Amino acid sequence: MFFVRTASEGDLKAVSALLGRSWHATYDTLYGADKVDEITAAWHSVEALKTRLKRPDSEFVVADDGKVIGGMAYAAMAEDEVDVAVLHMIYVEPGLTGQGIGRDLFAEVETCFPSAKRMRLEVEPKNERAVAFYTGLGFAEVGWTKNCGTQNSGIPALILEKTLSF
């Protein structure tokens, strides 16, 4: 059984490895393994994760069963909109999907931003499993971007939002 807790610096190596496995399992067929290696090296290195962990107005959580990290989520308040929280990452170990870990992670981060009226995320439109997961949580499409994650990434994404109510 997994429980959700705040991530620590000691978790980052395991989280980085989990992100690599998850991205390869999901995106190798879409972007190719080399592009996935490039993205995970830039976005999911221990140093990149450490920066996120230390960011004010953010929440970085892991699903932990005492032996392994089964998933992770990271969200932060938008830098340019005072009432929007952005879900930057939510990933589950590929062999553990479908067990409710993603829902548990989301349930935790969703409640961490009392000043937010909306939560926003970007998702690869060809990642049908993720799109279905997010729409099942109440997210709806509000737009598109040509550069998911970072400026000039060249990765298209749907922009989804959910109204938050406390």
Q: Where are the alpha helices (DSSP H) in the chain?
A: 12-31, 33-43, 46-54, 101-110, 128-136
Rounded CA-CA distance 62/127 in Å is 22
Give 3-state DSSP helix, strand, coil % of the chain, rounded to 5.
Answer: 40, 30, 30
Identify the bridge partners of residue 120 per DSSP, sorted by sequence position: 86, 161
Q: Is residue 110 a contact partner of residue 119, using CB atoms and an 8 Å limit?
A: yes
**Res. 152 pLDDT band, cuts 50 70 90:** confident
Per-residue tokens: 70: 């089964």
Digit-coded pLDDT (tens) for 17-49? 999 999 999 999 998 999 999 999 999 999 999
Digit-coded pLDDT (tens) for 96-146? 999 999 999 999 999 999 999 999 999 999 999 999 999 999 999 999 988
Rounded CA-CA distance 131/158 in Å is 9
3-state secondary structure of 51: helix
For residue 15, give the nearest of 61, 77, 75 by alpha carbon: 61
Of 151 and 22, the one with more pLDDT? 22
Q: Is the pLDDT of residue 151 over 80?
A: no
Q: What is the pLDDT at residue 145?
A: 83
Q: Is residue 70 a contact partner of residue 95, using CB atoms and an 8 Å limit?
A: no
Digit-coded pLDDT (tens) for 51-74? 999 999 999 999 999 999 999 999
Q: Name the pTM for this structure.
A: 0.93
3-state secondary structure of 137: coil
Per-residue tokens: 61: 């959580």
- The CA–CA distances, whole Å, from 92 to 72, 89, 130 equal 7, 10, 11
Q: What is the pLDDT at residue 101?
A: 97
**Res. 150 pLDDT band, cuts 50 70 90:** low
**Res. 12 pLDDT band, cuts 50 70 90:** very high
